[in-house]
Amino acid sequence: MNTILTSIRQALAGSLIVLLLVDASIGAEGAVKYCRFQAGKTTAYGMVEGDHVQQIKGDLFGKHELTGKNYQLAEVKLLVPARPSKVLALAGNYASHLGGQQPKNNPELFFKVPSCLVPTEAAVVIPKGTAEVHPEGEMVIVIGKRAKNVPEKNAKEYVFGVTCGNDISARDWQANDVQWWRAKGSDTFGPCGPFIAAGANYDDLLLTTRVNGEVRQSQRTKDLINAVAAIVSFASRHVTLEPGDLIYTGTPGKTAAIKPGDVVEVELESVGILRNPIVAGK
């Protein structure tokens, strides 16, 4: 009997070790990916698994469940991965972008309008009247639950995940207008996607921007002057953040003008690649 009990204990211990290894492996591999997609007449959120997406029933940021209905990613149209009530963005949040200037005491936030958002593969349109449009690759915070006056130590509890963003900027308008409403918020000036990565290490992800395959920006998010928790906490003191709201966290390094015919890619570790062709406005 003692021999049998010993064998059972050893087997259970072995099973526990296997489960712990699986758990560790899941954590090490990174985040769970989600998307918002359209397939025929169906528009839904989904969980991305390899080259498939499993449809979700309900609200991704609230009560939801997996339906078991799968689609090939190649067969669906990926949409902007959230439907925000507001879009915030940061200026001057990497030292490499400040050109030797001292950072401000507080995160420098501004608004982009939700109507500027476009998904991966959608065209970015350069409007008439601007002569210098630059891409700005960025990590974008996706808020997961209502946040108001959130302490910094608790702020990550309000983050659902992160995605890729491109803060398209008309530099001439940005320099000469009193407000940045058209320089940063013109139609198509907010590419975002393709997926939301939940559970990644948001404070140390590699961000890369390419134009026509050439690397233009490359830096890790550990170099953010204001990290994710500080950004969410500060923003929540002044505006109530709602589930699905987006915060562009700033761009690193230097930027340069793009032109019709170019293709811009923003890649964020754990998320994927946001890809947008550039076209001229009519």
> What region, left, alpha or beta, does residue 264 occupy, with left being phi > 0 and alpha being psi -120 to 50 degrees?
beta
pLDDT for 56 equals 98
* CATH 2.30.30.370 residue window(s) in the chain: 2-78
The pair of structure tokens assigned to 251 is 């761009």
More confident residue, 8 or 275: 275
What sections of 30-136 are H helices per DSSP? 95-98
Whole-number Å distance between alpha carbons of 183 and 60:
32
Digit-coded pLDDT (tens) for 139-153 = 999 999 999 999 999
Residue 104 confidence (pLDDT): 86
SS3 per residue for the chain: CHHHHHHHHHHHHHHHHHHHHHHHHHHHHCCEEEEEEEECCEEEEEEEECCEEEEEEECCCCCEEEEEEEEEHHHCEECCCCCCCCEEEEECCEHHHHCCCCCCCCCEEEEECHHHEECCCCCEEECCCCCCEECCEEEEEEECCCECCCCHHHHHHHEEEEEEEECCEEHHHHHHCCCCHHHHHCCCCEEEEEEEEECCCCCCCEEEEEECCEEEEEEEHHHECCCHHHHHHHHHCCCCECCCCEEECCCCCCCCCCCCCCEEEEEECCCEEEEEEEEECC
**CA-closest candidate to residue 123, choices 282, 276, 281:** 276
In 3D space, the residue among 276, 253, 250 whose CA is nearest the CA of residue 138 turns out to be: 250
The residue assigned the tokens 């469940």 is: 65
Q: Confidence band (pLDDT; 50, 70, 90) for 100?
A: confident
Looking up tokens 């609230």 gives 62
Residue 37's pLDDT is what?
98
Q: In the structure encoding, which two tokens stand for residue 165, read together?
A: 């963003």
- With 80 as the cut, is the pLDDT of residue 11 above it? no
0.85 surpassed by pTM: yes
- By the 8 A CB rule, do 131 and 172 touch? yes
At residue 69 the predicted structure's pLDDT band, cuts being 50, 70 and 90, is: very high
Whether the pLDDT of residue 25 is over 50: the answer is no
Which residue ranges does the chain devote to CATH 3.90.850.10? 87-280
Q: Which CATH number fits domain 2-78: 2.40.30.10, 2.60.40.10, 2.30.30.370, 3.40.50.150?
A: 2.30.30.370
Residue 29: pLDDT band with limits 50, 70, 90: low
Residue 26 buriedness (CB in 10 A; 0-12 / 13-18 / 19+): exposed
Domain spanning 87-280: CATH 3.90.850.10: yes
